Amino acid sequence: MRNTGSSPVRVKVAVVGSKTIVRPMAGLGEVLSCTVSADGYLQHDTLRSGGACRVRLSRNRQEVDQEISVAGCDPAIFLAGEHLRRKKDLTTVIGWSMGSTAALHALQRGEVHVAGLHLFDPVSGESNLPFLRKALKGSGYDVVTFATWEEGFVVRKGNPKSIRSVDDLAQRDVLFVNREEGAGARLLLDNRLQLTGMVPAAIHGYGRFVASHFEVARAVASGQADAGIGIRSAAQLFDLDFVPLQSARYDLVVPRPYLASHPTLANLFETLVSRPFRNEIEALGGYDTRETGTLHPLRS
C-alpha cells in the first residue's frame, strides 16, 4: 500500500516538569519503535519541533503521566521498566538513545527526566563528575550510579585483524566504525589517540559514526566494519569479541524537583538497587553492579 504521508504518527508522550514532550516513536530506533507501545497518535503534518500539537491518546492518562523518559546510551534501562511492572507499577521507562553529551543537554533543556552518561576524565581518573560540575549550575541534582561497565573495541569473532590497541586501528586493511562526537565512547577513543600521538585521519572510518553501542556492534557483525568503539555487553549480544580498554561508571543524573513531583520516578531508583534487577544486568555481560545505587555529591 502506498504511503500518502497523511497516516497518523505513533508518538510517546512524557510530562517533564511543567512541559509535555511529544516524540515520534521512530526516535527509539528501528527495533524498539516496532515493539514498544505508543502513547498516542497525531497527523503527520501537525508535529513541529518546539511547537504545539494535538495528540489522540491510546493509553490511560495516568499511565502516560507516570512514564519516565531517560536519555542515554544504555538500553538496559528498559529492563528497569520491566522490573517496575513486576511490582504492578503502571510506570513505563522509555530510553531515548543518544550519546552522553547529548543526553545531558536534553536534561538541561527539560526534555527528559533522567540523563545517563559515561564521560571518563583521564586527568582525575573520575567518571562524569568533573564534566557535570562544569555543566550544571547549583546542587539541585542527584547523581546515582547505574553500573560500572567495560569500554573498548568491538571486533569480529576471533579478532582476525589482531586488534589489541589503538595503534592497530591504523592498519590499511582495518575498517573502523565510530560513535558521534560527544559520546563517551568517542571521548575514550580520542583520549587514546591523543596519548599515542596518532591523528584521527590514520584510522580508516574514523569519520563514519553511528548513534548507539548496538549499532556499532551490528556494523561489525554484518561485516561493514572490522572494529568499533563500544561496550562489552553489545559485543556479547552479537557474538563478537571484545578488547577492553577501561572500566567506567555509567551514572544517572536527575533533577531533585522531578523526584518530588513525578509520581513514580523515585521507584525507578529503588528498582536499580534491587537484587533481581542487578542480577539481570550482570548476566548481560560487562556490567559490575557493586556501586549501583551509590549517590555521588555533585558539589564538594
pLDDT of residue 86: 86
β-strand pairing of 176-179 with 209-210: parallel
Q: What is the pLDDT of residue 45?
A: 54
Same topology, domains 8-146+251-296 and 151-247? Answer is yes
pLDDT at 275: 95
> Which CATH number fits the domain 8-146+251-296, given the four candidates 3.40.190.10, 3.30.56.10, 3.30.930.10, 3.40.50.150?
3.40.190.10
CA 177 to mean position of chain CA atoms? 18
Give the integer Cα–Cα distance in Å for 134 and 197. 27
Q: Which residues does the chain have with pLDDT short of 50?
A: 1-4
H or E stretch at 9: strand 8-16
Q: Report pLDDT for 101.
A: 95
What per-residue confidence (pLDDT) applies to 3? Answer: 44
**Domain spanning 151-247, CATH architecture:** 3-Layer(aba) Sandwich (3.40)
**CB–CB of 154/240 below 8 Å?**
yes
> How many Å apart are CA 278 and CA 13, to the nearest integer?
28
Angle at 84 between CA 256 and CA 27, to 5 degrees: 75
Quick one: pLDDT at residue 35? 76
Predicted local distance difference test score (pLDDT) of residue 49? 60
d(C-alpha 182, C-alpha 189), whole Å: 11
Distance of CA 102 to the CA centre of its chain: 10
Domain spans in the chain, listed from the N-terminal domain onward: 8-146+251-296, 151-247
